[in-house]
Amino acid sequence: MTQTAEDLTLDEVRAKIAPILPNHAAFDGWRPEAVAMAAAQAGVDPQIAQLAFREGAVDMIDAWFASIDAAMLDALPPEKLSALSIRQRITALVEARLSLLAGNREALRRAIAILAMPQNAARAARLGWRAADMMWRAAGDNATDFNHYSKRMTLAAVYAATLLVFIDDESEGWQDSRAFLARRIEGIMRFERTKARWKGAGGGERLSLAQFIGRLRYPAV
């Protein structure tokens, strides 16, 4: 039996509307007006749609980013990544996200501004962690020790920094963003190699990770 819009759960409504939201948020902002327009386009009752996004702008952004997570995994299934090195997998996954976001850079700019507000810092950190966790898992990372956390923290920082370059990148094919990303991923790989040597010598892994992330917060382009 075909499922109608009236049969959808709130989670399904969110998933249905989320990819459409940025088209309207670019003009109307991440506000109820964008939800109403996206609901009309998706054939969903606007009152149900508003209920699905009752937490407001960050809820809408969260749903959009979740749709990007899913689309990234669809674009790069395991069979496409298996022949690549870890560095190539992470690069491909981040670049896939940039391609998926490219048509909605104004909505992304507005989303980043909202997530940068102090009251949204915790939620923004969770979204960054979620994206980094999905990328590392897709890349085949199965670490369960401190590496599990350090890898995700560093990649989340790299991804966030790359987005800040990307939203203003007017170079052909976003070459400036790609070059920036390549430098930052090289930093991750170099850090992992150095960390492995320090671990072998009993060095201070946690302190060095904090220093590394501190440098990533204000990278030179």
Tell me the residue range of the domain where 67 lies: 55-217
pLDDT digits (tens, 9 = 90+) for 172-185: 999 999 999 999 88
Q: How many domains does the chain have?
A: 1
pLDDT digits (tens, 9 = 90+) for 57-78: 999 999 999 999 999 999 999 9
pLDDT at position 202 over 80 = no
Whichever domain contains 210, its CATH number is 1.10.357
Can you say whether the dihedral through the CA atoms of 185, 191, 196, 199 is positive or negative? negative
- The pair of three-digit structure tokens given for residue 81, joined into one six-digit string: 């990544």
Residue 185 lies in a domain: yes
Residue 58 three-state SS: helix
- The pair of three-digit structure tokens given for residue 208, joined into one six-digit string: 């060095």
Residue 85 lies in a domain: yes
Q: What is the pTM of this model?
A: 0.83
Rg (alpha carbons) of the chain, rounded to whole number: 19
What integer pLDDT is reported at residue 117 of this predicted model?
A: 97
C-alpha angle with apex 136: 131 to 139, nearest 5 degrees? Answer: 125
Residue 37 lies in a domain: no
Residue 47 lies in a domain: no
Gap between the Cα atoms of 156 and 133, Å rounded = 8
Q: Write the DSSP string, 170-185.
A: -SGGGHHHHHHHHHHH
Residue 186 lies in a domain: yes
Choice between 191 and 52, residue whose per-residue pLDDT is larger: 52
Residue 168 lies in a domain: yes
